[in-house]
Amino acid sequence: MIAYLGAFDSVYRNELVDGWVKNCLEREIPNSGSFSLANTLGNAVTIQHWCIDGLPSDSFSVENAIITYKTSRWPLYIDPQGQANKWVKTMYKKVDPPIKILKFSNDSYLKHLEASI
């Protein structure tokens, strides 16, 4: 799920997961009959904190947050509504040093990027 489905929308993810569950049932592989990433890899307290910090509480957003935290690579957010941007900014206000927000149009963009690398 984390490796392959992160790039897809919720409708397609649900279709694939339903297919996987059906395939397991046909092959008599023991399973619960349904699958939820939040129930499998999520932690209710952590998810609640994410929602307090601005993460939408729908299952698709929660799955994306779990994928973000469980993957070893940096995620790419395509975020036209700015919800993930707001959530990430809120989450990283609490860390030291705080997150830096850069835009390509910043004069010091390359300087900050080079320093970060």
- Please tell me the total count of domains within the chain: 1
Q: Calculate ∠ Cα 67-55-35, nearest 5°.
A: 45
pLDDT recorded at residue 44: 94
pLDDT tens digit sequence for 46-56: 999 999 999 99
CATH of the domain at 102: 3.40.50.300
pLDDT recorded at residue 28: 93
pLDDT recorded at residue 27: 95
pLDDT recorded at residue 2: 73
pLDDT recorded at residue 69: 87
Within a domain: residue 4?
no
Q: Which structural domain range is residue 87 located in?
A: 10-116
pLDDT recorded at residue 46: 95
């392959």: which residue's tokens? 4
Residues in Cβ contact with 113 at an 8 Å cutoff, skipping those fewer than 6 apart:
102
**Which tokens belong to 64?**
């994306």
Question: Cis link prior to 97 (omega < 30° from 0)?
Answer: yes
Angle of helix 59-70 versus helix 44-52 axis, rounded to 10: 110
pLDDT recorded at residue 45: 96
The residue ranges of the chain whose pLDDT is under 70 are: none
Within a domain: residue 36?
yes
pLDDT recorded at residue 63: 92
pLDDT recorded at residue 34: 86
Cβ 83 vs Cβ 54: under 8 Å: yes
Within a domain: residue 2?
no
